[in-house]
Amino acid sequence: MNVIVRDLRPGVRSDAEGFTDVRRLVLPYLLATPESVLHDLAHAHPDARVRRLVAEEDGEIIGTAQVGVAHDSPEPGVGSVNVCVHPERRHRGAGTLLVRAGEEHLAAHGVRTVYSWVLDEPGHREFAQRQGYRASRPARFLRLDLARTPLPPLPDPPAGVELRTAADFADDPRPLFRLDAECVQDEPSDVDAEFADYEAWVEEYFRHPMLDPELTSVAVADGRAVAFSVAHTDGRTQYQTAMTGTARAFRGRGLAKLAKGHSLHRARAAGYTQAYTGNDAENGPMLAINRWFGYEVCATEVRHVRELA
């Protein structure tokens, strides 16, 4: 075995391609492109201390790790290490090397609590336990066959509500930032998040290369953005819902379902054939909405946690 761990080199295209290939093999229901990998690395907040690590064997990338500090969490000392290893290159020590390199980086920046998403499969769970991680909360990946599954008819918006797209906010996305900042605080999670830096949000999220402004639907009422469904695409056949949410004062009116339906109908008309999304297992309202559209669970992952000494 000759496995080494190093940083992804942003200027070397093959690094981003190898990183993406491994992630697609392990997590096909999470969209990734070389452009999105490079964007996430280049535009991460400095306080996140983000690193993208690769495990390499004989010049081939066989494993990846996404490492970062939860800088937007009100709780200090929290970070994450998420590892993927090529299914045919496991049991070579790559995963352990990636975990340890990630933990060392986080510890050097004051992190004491490390979270990691782990597929709910025996081999993955056993690996996490060997690394000292214990299981926390589960989440579901869901898939919808847009080419074959009929979508529910799209209703007209209720009185006083107008449907727009993110493209309509291109000159001033601040209304979407305010909505996203409110919604993210209410997402079920082990780690709370707060969006406070508008300029960083624009660079990291609104200008993300997979964001499709024309397929991202926004419900507007009383002159403000009150619900949205954010669409990411790979530019070919795959579509992913990156976020769906409603402002607190407008919940219970079906606006999240309306925005998501609007986006799904437009995605199918644009030729996308597979739709993916993910939900915390305790997010009953969104799981119900997704089942109504015809999504089916395709995988489960469980967040694990470890306290560093």
Which CATH class, in words, describes the domain spanning 144-302?
Answer: alpha beta
Residues in the chain: 309
Which distant-in-sequence residues (6+ apart) come within 8 Å of 71 by Cβ? 45, 47, 48, 49
pLDDT at 219 over 70: yes
Of 181, 205, 185, the closest CA to residue 195 belongs to: 181
pLDDT band at 193, cuts 50/70/90?
A: low
Intervals of CATH 3.40.630.30 along the chain: 3-111, 144-302
Look up residue 20 and give its two tokens.
């993406």
> ∠ at Cα 295 (294, 297), nearest 5°?
140
Which distant-in-sequence residues (6+ apart) come within 8 Å of 247 by Cβ? 179, 182, 183, 224, 225, 226, 227
pLDDT band at 72, cuts 50/70/90?
A: confident
Taking the C-alpha atoms of residue 62 and residue 210, their distance in angstroms, rounded to an integer, is: 24
Residue 284 CB neighbour total at 10 angstroms: 11
Look up residue 118 and give its two tokens.
């782990």
Residue 190 confidence (pLDDT): 62
Residue 34 confidence (pLDDT): 97
pLDDT at 86 over 70: yes
Report CA Rg, the chain: 20
H/E run at residue 143: strand 134-145
The arithmetic mean of pLDDT across residues 125-139, rounded, is: 97
Are 282 and 137 in contact by the 8 Å Cβ rule? The answer is: yes
The arithmetic mean of pLDDT across residues 87-100, rounded, is: 96
Give alpha helix (H) positions in the chain.
13-26, 34-42, 94-108, 122-130, 174-184, 198-201, 255-269, 284-293
pLDDT at 122 over 80: yes
pLDDT at 125 over 70: yes
Whose structure tokens read 């847009």?
146
The arithmetic mean of pLDDT across residues 106-112, rounded, is: 98
Of 307, 303, 309, the closest CA to residue 124 belongs to: 303
Express the helix, strand and coil content of the chain in percent, nearest 5 each. 35, 30, 35
pLDDT at 89 over 60: yes
The arithmetic mean of pLDDT across residues 5-22, rounded, is: 97
Residue 156 CB neighbour total at 10 angstroms: 8
Look up residue 134 and give its two tokens.
């214990």
- Which fold, 3-111? Aminopeptidase (3.40.630)
Q: Which pTM was predicted?
A: 0.93
